[in-house]
């Protein structure tokens, strides 16, 4: 699979997930999803390897969850 096709697939799936599943989520959950999507997107744009992109997504998700929890309270 080429890099461009892989990136397009991931971005399409992420956009679909964000559009379809956020209605009943708490602020913390929305923050986690947004942080994970942003972290993964930035990792892909920066040209990181698969492991780096996944790591960026996990870190972004954790940061988003913590921020969402702080905002919710």
Residues 1-55 have pLDDT tens digits of: 577 777 777 777 777 666 666 667 788 888 887 788 788 878 777 877 878 888 8
> Number of folded domains in the chain?
1
Examine residue 21 and state whether it is found in any structural domain, yes or no: no
Residue 50 has a pLDDT of 79
Examine residue 47 and state whether it is found in any structural domain, yes or no: yes
Residue 24 has a pLDDT of 76
Examine residue 53 and state whether it is found in any structural domain, yes or no: yes
Give mean pLDDT, residues 50-72: 82
Examine residue 19 and state whether it is found in any structural domain, yes or no: no
Contact 10, 42 (CB under 8 A): no
Residue 25 has a pLDDT of 77
Examine residue 30 and state whether it is found in any structural domain, yes or no: yes
Q: Whole-prediction pTM value?
A: 0.60
Give me the domain span that covers residue 64. 3-14+26-72
């Amino acid at each position: 699979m080429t890099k461009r096709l892989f990136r397009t697939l991931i971005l399409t799936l992420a956009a679909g997930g964000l559009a379809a599943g956020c209605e009943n989520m708490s602020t913390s959950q929305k923050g986690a999803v947004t942080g994970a999507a942003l972290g993964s997107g930035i990792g892909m744009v920066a040209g990181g390897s698969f492991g780096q992109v996944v790591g960026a997504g996990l870190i972004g998700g954790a940061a988003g969850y913590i921020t969402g929890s702080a905002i919710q309270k």
